[in-house]
Structure 1
Amino acid sequence: MRSSEGLIHVFGYEGRDVRVYCPYSQGYETHQKYLCKNLCGYWDYLITSSEKNKTKYSIYDDEKTKVFTVIISDVRVDDAGKYWCGVTILGKDLYTEVKLEVQPEKEEHNAGREKKLEDLPAHSTTAVYQHQNSTMRTIIAATSPVSEELTEVYQPQSTTGKTIITTAPPVSEELSEAPSWVSSVEGLIHVFGYEGRDVRISCPYDRGFEDHEKYLCNNDCGYSDVLVRTTQKTKTRYFIHDDKTRRVFTVTISDLHLKDAGKYLCGVTRLGKDPFTEVKLELKPDRCCNTLNKIHGDEEGSVSISCPYEPQCQNNFKFFCRGNHPSTCLQQAVITSKNRQRGRFRLMDDRKSRKFVVTISNLTLNDSGLYLCGVQRNSSLDVFSAVQLEVKERCCVKTINIRGVVGKPVTFQCRYPPQHNNGTMLLCKGDLANNCKDMMDQSRFTLTNASPNSLSVTITKLEAGDGGTYWCRSGPESSVGNYTHIHLSVADEAHHALLALPAVLLLLVIIVLVLVYKKKYHKK
């Protein structure tokens, strides 16, 4: 599966309904969408946009805002886990990962107690999502009131002013109805992103404000602090879209700079004081990290890379990617804790030691470079550590090209370090030094010590099949620079004679020229 850059976190309570909002990119409006789990095999599909309703699941695709929504009704604790929002395309489908957390119902918190995102009342749902075509996550807390009445509390239009807009949750089963939202400090919208990327800020509002002007502002939200409004649509790096059906307006900020981080306000124009929802934007550079763990490996060998993590991340999703861009690491991961074996890469999670280990086998020189170890976080940007891998070339002390003739013997020398003169002698045949056939048990092959740092190899009665690549060494184990590489070519005697004929003719010509020269010299 090819995952997007985004991760959707959904929090709900047992016995209630949850909505999973799945954004997708422009161009896929008419494609089939679906929600699945596990490996997204045929039996893992929970609902598709061609089904609309299916017992526990309902789906609605809003092609205008490019978001399809899945409602999971009467959620149970065992519904918690990983899901996938999918879009059907030619080739590999597009996926966005969904993490659903379900908690048992809790008692109401005291009215005077300060509420946090992770400590919401029993009748609340917190939706956390990251858009498919941007590198940010949005955390929105929605609280259900205890009455059907509309309650509005407005405070001064300032950076400290917050607005509480409380309505009853919708009772209609129609998916076009958006959930009720609390726009207050308890409903703070957190947005996380990376420098140089785009983010989307989704700002919900209450019924009755569909035709009102919406805007995003910062600072004191004065006239000059308004960054974009629905009457403008586009303003330099800001773009705004109002989805009146879902009662959510979305502001896209492109080409983020670190100085863009801070507090913003989603506002709705009305008579009197405007209602606001506070937005906190946090940004990080799209690179990692201040320290590098340098790892060395040998060509054709293997290497193990250790990636430590904090105790609270033992059960979190882990992944490993090549490069130095955290924003795209999950999408480009070469191995994850859910798919622990992939080609030459293997991942083992040692939770007791709080580290996961990635092993890369059959190393090549192209494996050299930067890698990132990633640990997914539920309520902020993922955590990374950086690794620099250097793969050293294995071959060789010396490379020798040898020619032989069928039926004749051939002898060549293998040099090795003096400290290995009492080591094990080895001669093998094959393209790779660590994957070649041992020739020591062949009766026609003889190895002897020719000198304190030289090994003599003799092959008697050469055969045409003896041609190829050989490796010889003396030492306790293979290592870089410890091998001699031999390329042996074998020709039959007739062919060898033809190869030698030009040399014989050349010699005869030289002799004739010398005789002619001497004869002329004596005449003088």
Structure 2
Amino acid sequence: MMKIFVLLLVAMMTGCEATSEDSSEDSSEDIDMMGCSGGWVDFTCRYPDVNTSYEAVYVKCGDETVIESNLTASWKSQNRFHLYHDRTNKNLRVIIRQLQSNDFKKWKCGFDQHDSDQEVDLKREDSYETPFNQIAYKTAKTTITCEYPNKSNVKFFCKDNGFICEDILSEPPLRSNGTFSLNITGTGLIVSISNVSTQHLGDYWCGLKSKDGISRAGLKKIHLNVEDITTSELSLAVGQTSTFRCDYPESSSIFRFFCKGEDPSSCQTLISKQGSRRSTGRFSLKEDHRKKQINITVTGVTAEDTGTYWCGTKNSGSKTDKFYHRFLVTVVPKSQEEEVWLLPVISAVVVCLVVVLIIILVLVYKRCKRSETWRDGGALEEQAYAEIQERPPLPTIYATANFPSISSAPPGYSVVTFKNSSDVKGDAYSTVRHPDPSPVYSTVNHTCPHCL
């Protein structure tokens, strides 16, 4: 009986001890990360005690404090270091950009002058490819390839927005968002960007992150530059022979090629040359040094020749080729080719006829308007003449008064009286004659009011 009691007591004590060990175990786990020189890391430290509200936070590299802040819900930046104190989620987010050789050691987050038990062990991994520049062309497609020696972490693709690299695609769950598409391979990932525009210009990163998402590392930087390119649209008929002409700058490489594919970075080379002339199957290439031009001739065009073609040169010391001309080729049967050729001609004729018809209608309208205006003016003129009435000539009446011949006579008067007749409407005149310079007076009476 005593033995059973002792065994039970030992079992209970053992159970308590196990529970105590479990409860004393720190809930925070260390973070192991890989980074490369020139790259960046982004990790999150949890609160040591979720029931405590911390005021001041800091980050230490080894024994050195590199950044500290009293801010909350706001980024604090100092040189290459950036931190964000999130009281809502009870954590501290840290971003370190442009990693240097002395950054590859253990890091710690601090809360109110107390170091967290959680450590971030940053290891150096320089086996990833060095940064490079890639040229993409407007409205075309471009492909970015990233190789990863480590397959255990989650692969992602992001674009720099300030000091934060914003996720575009990752595995899983986002493999495509319309413009970008992600293809996971056995050794890395391939990202395709379709319908390239100037908004895609910028710095991109291929990286690895933990499955819980609390740590990320940017390992390969790609600077994407977007350029214009001369584009020609061609309609070819089955069976015909056609020539593509491409101009190139004098400073370009002497190794020129002609390829087919929607994406120039992965197009299939059809013919290339380093001499003056080269022929391969149905394709032949000839260079005109005087015109700085290459001519590619294809014989026996087939329906399979429909697609996008590029003229380019290979640049020594660069991982990307340079392209100068794009051809968008459509191959149709001969009958359709004739229709395609006639269509713009017919359209031009129709447009010309419509323009001529409009001009004729405008001229006719103006002529009719002018005739109507002329007729209206003539009618008004006739009406004005009709209102003018002629008056018949009126007779003129003359009266002559003779003075007496006696010079000594006193001044004489002569009175002339006209008949009061309404028939006499003409002018009336009175003439007084006197041979003597003596004063002469003449009074004229006219009883017809119409004569004055």
Q: TM-score, normalised by structure 2?
A: 0.38
Flag the structure with higher helix content: 2
